Structures are given as C-alpha cells and as structure tokens.
Amino acid sequence: MDRRIQGFVVVVALAAAGVSAWADVFVESVRARCAAILLAASEPGGVEGSLAEAVEVADLASGWASGSQLAAVGWAEGTLSILRTAEKARFGSLGAVGRSPAFATELGLLIRDQNDAAGVMGLALRLAESREREVQRYPNLAAAVCVVHDRPWTRRINENTVRAPEALDAFDYFVRHARSLQHDPARMPSLLLVHVVSVTEPIEQLEWAMRQYGRHPSPGRRFFEIRYDNDAFRRGTEKRVTAAGNYRIESIKQHGGVCADQAYFAEMVGKATGIPSCYVSAAGAQVAHAWIGYLETRQRAGWDFDQGRYRDYQNLRGQIICPQSRERISDGHVGLLGGLMNAPADDIRASMGAALTARRMSASGDRDRGGRAFEAPDEVEGVQRRATLRQPRTGGIDDRLGLLRLALTRCAFVPEAWVVVASFGASGEMTSRQLDDWAQSLMRLCGTAHQDFSFDLLVALIGAEADVRSRQRMWDWAFSRYRARPDLASAVRFHQGRMWEGAGRRDHAWSAYEDIVKRFLNDGPMSVAALISMRDLLDRNERRDQFLPYLQDAARRVRAPSDAGDAFRVQSNHYRIHEMLIEELARHGRSRDADRVRAQLRLVD
C-alpha cells in the first residue's frame, strides 16, 4: 500500500475512534504520518527514500505546533532521528524496527551524539527481530537498553573491574521480572530506565539480588548492610572482598568493603529490582567518598542522594558516570529526572523533541538545508494542520527559545532541553536580556529543588555574557542564591576569579580566590585550587615570596583528616596544603622547617 494512503487510513481510523479535539487531530495525524514513514523505511533501501519526507513532517510540526500540540514535535523528531542514525550507520533499511513505531521514535529521541550509531542500530534490529512482542510491549525499556549497551559497558569500582552482561540477556531479565519490579517498565520514561538497565553484574547475580531483596529492596538500607572493612581504610591493607577474587555483589555481601563497595552493592540491588539507581562520589576536604542515589516514590517522586552521604559531604556536589554518554555529570543532572515520574508521556515527548528541533532549526544545525534559514512548509500530505499557530516559527533565536520555553513549561525535567538553551548562550546568539531572563527562569523552575543541575547551566549562561560588569553582577546574584552550599558558592567565586584574570584585573581575581580560602577552607577541594591560583598570580607578577604567609595561615586553619590509611589521607586538603607548604619552605631555604612539616605528615623521601 502506498505510504500516503497508509497515513490517510490511519487518520480516518483515529477520527472514527472519536479523536475530536482539533489539536488532537494535528498531533495524531503527525503521529500516523510518522508511522507510515517508518513502515516504508522498514523495506529494503527504504531509509534513503524516507528521509526527505521525515524532514518535511518534522519541519511542519516544528514550525506550526501550538503549545498544546508539542507532542507532534516529539513524534516527528524521533522519527527523523532514528532514520538519520540508520543512515549514519549505513543501514539501508530499518527492518523490524520500523514496524514498531513507539520503539523507533522513543529510541530516536533518546539517542545522543556519544552513542555508537552502528551499535545502536545493530542492537535495535536484534531486539526488534528476535523479541518483537516484548519490544512492542516495552518500547521504552528496549530503547534504554540500546543506548546503554550499544558498546561495551565496563566500570572500575576502585581496584576492581565490573562488566555488563550481554544486552539481550539484560533485556530478557527485566522483561522476565516485569511484574515483580518496583516500577512497571512499560510505564517508566526511558530517561529513567537508562539508570535501571545499566547493570554491570552477571544475570545470575541479578537473580540473586531479586531473590534476596525483591520484595523490600530499599537501596539506602542496603548501603549500610555491607560490613565496613576498617583495616583497609585505616591501615591501607588489601580489602577482603578483593583478596577473595571474583568481585561481585554476593561476594561484597559476604566479605564487606569500603564506601565504594557499599555504594556499588546498593546500586546493583536497586537496578536489579527495577529502581533507577546510581553510584555517586565526591572529593571532600578530607577524603573522597561514595554513596548511593536512587529514585524514591513513597511520597512524591524524587531522587534520594542522602543515604550513605555523611555530614561532611551533604553540601558537596556528587559526580556520576552517565551510563549512556560515559561522561561525568553532576548528581543534580540525574536528580532532575525524578520529576518525569509524575509527567504525562506527551509532555516528556514534547521536551525531548523540542531539544532536537531547536538545534535543527538553527541555520547551521541541519545539514539538509545546507546552512539555509529554516522555513516550515504550509502543508504536508496526510497531515491535518488544525488549530495550529497563525504564523509559523522561523529559525531565529527568539522562536527557538520560545519553543523551548513552551516545552519546558510543560515538562522541566528533560536535562537536554536546558542544555540546548545553554548552548545557544555559549554560541553568542542570546542577548544580555535573554541570558538574564533564562537564568531567572532556570532558578525558578529548577533552582531550589535541583541546585546542582541549575548551577551547571547557570555557569554556561553567565559565561556567555560578554560584558564583564554584567557578568560580575550575575555572578554576585548567583553567589547569593547558592550561599548555603559551600561547594557551589566557592565555585562561583572561582569563576569570578578566572573572569577577572581574563579581564586583566588581578586585584579583583586575588580577592575572589582569597575569599574562597577564608570562607571555605574546610568545605571541599576548591580552596586548594584557589591557593594554587593565588600562588600563580603572585608568580606571574614576580611577587612569589609573598605567598608563604598566606599558605602558613591556611595550614594552621585546615582540619586534619580523621583516622585513615595513607591512601585516603593523601586526598585531604590538610595533606595537599601541607605538601605545598613543604615546597614553599624549601624554596625559601628553610629546609629544617620543611623537614618538620614532613615529619608531621609522616612523609619520608
């Protein structure tokens, strides 16, 4: 059947089923048209012939969709994205993937530049061909598996290496236990499922975790269930779990471990039972630490990053390895995803789609236009344009930001949409007023509940301001918002110092760094970075001899770490500052004083 006729038949069927609202007609006709395009792309050589039509539908949806019709943008952009991924991977046909439109479009929305296109498409085809029924029932789960397991997933937990099971085996595990999991994988958003399917234990270990904890997983409790290996921490001896060999969660349960092993154990139990979970770490003023983060839904859905996060780390930014990009991100980036549990699927799809289309609408963002300005078509055959905008959007920055604002107002919990806004700032396209306006919007929608995430984006927005005085005003405003978070407040001051250095105002830069050392010496590693910057400023100004008194004062005030082995002790601010002091004393010819400090640290050459 001709693809246009297919789309028309689906639209007629939707009308017969009672789709009466004009907005719904537009959204559903776009959805039907996309399904027809995907079906055509499933034929041999179908990808190449379907791309132009997919671009046309995506341009129509992007240009004309009203605020209540943004789900159409999601369907269209997801369709275009999966076709482009197939083209990039040199797949001439979508095969069985094209016959599962919900899976294909969700995967298209989820794919990122860091993914391996051939790996994603190869795995998607294997799933769609060998597990067609399961993929159609759990499209979000299948999409998450494809973007996490498109390439080998290997991690280091201190000295131990862990690896993911075979991708299809992981998918089968979650399908097999779908009714027993804490959250239904048929309903959970794919962005959260990424933090479920990213298991790095053999299937038999996941089965063990399900048997042991399936009814009451409580990842936070599992962290403290693991006996702490005090000898490894205090004396630096080999951990019992490492000495036993065959590192896995059942062995951690038997032999215990340090915080890294506790966090990993809790993370894997959470994932095995269907709870989005992650391993979080941070470098404190004394030692580094790891703890567990997981989705809590007993009251209002949100991520809990407090279990195993001791007092000294409550106000430090946690870091997570993203299972999809394999890059370090803040725990706030993941924490933002908690709001997706209460968001309608169409709103999530709208924000995911808006992130893709806003990039594509820019003059240089779409290769099919060869740099020409974006222009939405007035109509596309098979799509009923009803109750849409009176005038279409253009590719201008105002329209792109307006589209993103509409989408984020509906669902503010898609990090990529915020990242796109920040990228427009970094590119220099946004005016000072727009930068200020979006900084305010960011704090209003995300700032209070998701400070770590809002900070990352705020840094990008403020950094895009060209005028130094305006940027200074924005940094001072940010400092006032993050005053209660020493890690973030000190980072703001550090950015100010770098800004003033770049502007040639070394006096202002010195004041910013000095403020960090005075206020936040025992609140994280930023104070060490500030001391190094102070030293370098003096060095470049041929005044290095003036640095020693500042360093001596810091060495007197910095707190020593509690009882810990050398491997942990050398991470502390106390150790690093005293190492700097030894070097500086030696530079001044005070070798006896340097030896005395070295002896205090138990350092032997």
Decide the pairing of beta strands 277-283 and 288-296: antiparallel
Q: Collapsing DSSP states into helix, strand and coil, what is residue 198?
A: coil
Query: Could you tell me if residue 420 is inside a domain?
Result: no
Domain span including residue 285: 192-336
Residue 541, Cβ neighbours under 10 Å: how many?
11
The pLDDT, as a whole number, for residue 219 is 92
Helix (H) or strand (E) holding 193, with range, is helix 190-197
Q: Per the structure, how many domains does the chain have?
A: 3
367 versus 62: the higher-pLDDT residue is 62
The pLDDT, as a whole number, for residue 311 is 66
- Least confident span in 5-14, 87-96, 271-280, 325-334: 5-14
Q: State the pLDDT confidence band at 198, using cuts at 50, 70 and 90.
A: very high
Closest CA to 252 of 273, 237, 236, 268: 268
416 versus 573: the higher-pLDDT residue is 416
* Same domain assignment for residues 12 and 106: yes
- Whole-number mean pLDDT of the chain? 89
Q: Collapsing DSSP states into helix, strand and coil, what is residue 281?
A: strand
Biggest distance spanned by C-alpha atoms of the chain: 91
- pLDDT of 521 > 70? The answer is yes
| pLDDT, tens only, 335-382 | 999 999 999 999 999 999 999 999 999 865 555 655 567 889 999 988
Q: State the pLDDT confidence band at 497, using cuts at 50, 70 and 90.
A: very high
Query: Could you tell me if residue 389 is inside a domain?
Result: no
Mean pLDDT over 601-605 rounds to 56
Task: Provide the token pair at 144.
Answer: 């998450």
Mean pLDDT over 381-395 rounds to 91
For the residues of 320-342, what is the DSSP string, one character each? EE-TTT-SEEEHHHHHGGGGGGG
- pLDDT of 570 > 80? The answer is no
368 versus 507: the higher-pLDDT residue is 507
Q: Collapsing DSSP states into helix, strand and coil, what is residue 603?
A: coil
**What is the total residue count of the chain?**
605
Residue that terminates a domain, selected from 304, 336, 368: 336
d(CA 500, CA 558): 27
Torsion angle, CA of 15/21/23/25, rounded to 10 degrees? 0
- pLDDT of 4 > 70? The answer is no
Query: Could you tell me if residue 411 is inside a domain?
Result: no
Query: Could you tell me if residue 296 is inside a domain?
Result: yes
Q: Collapsing DSSP states into helix, strand and coil, what is residue 291?
A: strand
- pLDDT of 63 > 80? The answer is yes
d(CA 572, CA 554): 13
Which residue matches tokens 């409790």?
221
Return all residues near 187 (Cβ < 8 A) that are at least 6 apart: none
* Same domain assignment for residues 299 and 200: yes
The pLDDT, as a whole number, for residue 173 is 99
Q: Collapsing DSSP states into helix, strand and coil, what is residue 279?
A: strand
* Same domain assignment for residues 8 and 143: yes
Task: Provide the token pair at 294.
Answer: 């997981």
- pLDDT of 604 > 50? The answer is no
The CATH number of the domain holding residue 475 is: 1.25.40
- Least confident span in 122-131, 223-232, 414-423: 223-232
- Residue 317 zone, left/alpha/beta (φ > 0; ψ -120 to 50; rest): beta
Angle (CA) 217-222-227 rounded to 5° is 155
355 versus 454: the higher-pLDDT residue is 355
The pLDDT, as a whole number, for residue 605 is 39
Closest CA to 92 of 41, 153, 139: 41
* Same domain assignment for residues 136 and 26: yes
* Same domain assignment for residues 143 and 270: no
Q: State the pLDDT confidence band at 21, using cuts at 50, 70 and 90.
A: very low
* Same domain assignment for residues 197 and 145: no
Return all residues near 17 (Cβ < 8 A) that are at least 6 apart: none
* Same domain assignment for residues 10 and 138: yes
Query: Could you tell me if residue 444 is inside a domain?
Result: no
* Same domain assignment for residues 567 and 479: yes
The pLDDT, as a whole number, for residue 447 is 67
Return all residues near 215 (Cβ < 8 A) that are at least 6 apart: none
- pLDDT of 120 > 50? The answer is yes
The pLDDT, as a whole number, for residue 50 is 97
* Same domain assignment for residues 215 and 327: yes
8 A C-beta contact, residue 95 and residue 129? yes
The pLDDT, as a whole number, for residue 377 is 93
Q: State the pLDDT confidence band at 9, using cuts at 50, 70 and 90.
A: very low
d(CA 90, CA 84): 10
| pLDDT, tens only, 144-187 | 999 999 999 999 999 999 999 999 999 999 999 999 999 999 99
d(CA 487, CA 113): 30
Query: Could you tell me if residue 48 is inside a domain?
Result: yes
In this structure, what DSSP letter does residue 445 have?
I
Residue that terminates a domain, selected from 336, 359, 384: 336
* Same domain assignment for residues 245 and 314: yes
Angle (CA) 190-195-198 rounded to 5° is 110
The pLDDT, as a whole number, for residue 300 is 77
d(CA 287, CA 561): 7
Return the bridge partners of 257, or none: 228
Which residue matches tokens 């594509």?
360
d(CA 397, CA 66): 17
Query: Could you tell me if residue 354 is inside a domain?
Result: no
Quote the percentage of the chain above a pLDDT of 90. 70
Which residue matches tokens 């350092």?
603
8 A C-beta contact, residue 386 and residue 23? yes
Query: Could you tell me if residue 423 is inside a domain?
Result: no
* Same domain assignment for residues 487 and 564: yes
The pLDDT, as a whole number, for residue 310 is 66
Task: Provide the token pair at 51.
Answer: 């791309």
- pLDDT of 42 > 90? The answer is yes
Q: State the pLDDT confidence band at 286, using cuts at 50, 70 and 90.
A: low
The CATH number of the domain holding residue 228 is: 3.10.620
- pLDDT of 433 > 70? The answer is yes
- pLDDT of 476 > 70? The answer is yes
Closest CA to 576 of 501, 514, 522: 522
Q: State the pLDDT confidence band at 454, using cuts at 50, 70 and 90.
A: confident
8 A C-beta contact, residue 60 and residue 380? yes
Radius of gyration of the chain (CA): 27
Sheet of strand 319-321, all strands in order from the earlier edge strand to the far edge: 302-304, 288-296, 277-283, 319-321, 328-330
First to last CA, the chain: 81
Q: Mean pLDDT: which of 9-18, 116-125, 568-577 is highest?
A: 116-125
Task: Provide the token pair at 124.
Answer: 């998607």
Return all residues near 58 (Cβ < 8 A) that are at least 6 apart: 73, 76, 77, 79, 80, 357, 360
Angle (CA) 438-440-441 rounded to 5° is 60
* Same domain assignment for residues 139 and 7: yes
The pLDDT, as a whole number, for residue 370 is 59
Residue that terminates a domain, selected from 278, 311, 336: 336
- Write the secondary structure of 58-76 as one string of H (helix), E (strand) and C (coil): HHHHHHHCCHHHCHHHHHH
